[in-house]
Amino acid sequence: MRAAVLTISDKGSIGQRQDTSGPAVAEVLKTIGAVVEKYEIVPDEVELIAGRLIEYADILGLDLVITTGGTGVAPRDLTPEATSRVIDREVPGMAEAMRMESFKKTPHALISRAIAGIRKQTLIINLPGSPKGATENLQFILKAIPHAVEKIKGDPSECAVQ
């Protein structure tokens, strides 16, 4: 599975904060056999985020794109807006599961606006910006990702668990 990790952080993009979420997410992705081919940090700018998502899906043809950061309610938290602009179909169950499981740990989960969706044959998932929040949320949905990617790519096999 070919993947990208895109960290959205104004401070991180200009070197004022070290990104620990992106590398932590990349480590978790290895456990499902994903190879992170692209890792970048960009500021909280809708057009820039959307442009990277399009590049990863349309030009690089990656299977999976994970974003970290910009999913809350602060004025500069714009990752869901950028993602919404570029996806063809939403996958609401992933975001719902992340919020549901996160709420068991913190009431702040209720202000997450993270989404997940599909652009062409690429699964795009928004995660929170903190390393703990990003890795925990990814763990909540991790087992579903390989199957989702297979289905997006056109796997005709049955989905029933035996």
- From 150, 158, 106, 154, select the one nearest 132 (Cα to Cα): 106
- The pLDDT-based confidence of 156 (bands split at 50, 70, 90) is confident
Is the pLDDT confidence value at 159 over 80?
A: no
The domain that contains 15 carries what CATH number? 3.40.980.10
Is the pLDDT confidence value at 4 over 80?
A: yes
- The pLDDT-based confidence of 162 (bands split at 50, 70, 90) is low
User: pTM of the predicted model, to two decimals?
Assistant: 0.96
How far apart CA 79 and CA 81 sit, in angstroms, is: 5
61-99: pLDDT as tens digits:
999 999 999 999 999 999 999 999 999 999 999 999 999
Domain span at 108 = 2-152
Assess if residue 102 is contained within a domain. Answer: yes
Assess if residue 160 is contained within a domain. Answer: no
How far apart CA 49 and CA 93 sit, in angstroms, is: 23
Instruction: Provide the domain count of the chain.
Output: 1
Assess if residue 108 is contained within a domain. Answer: yes
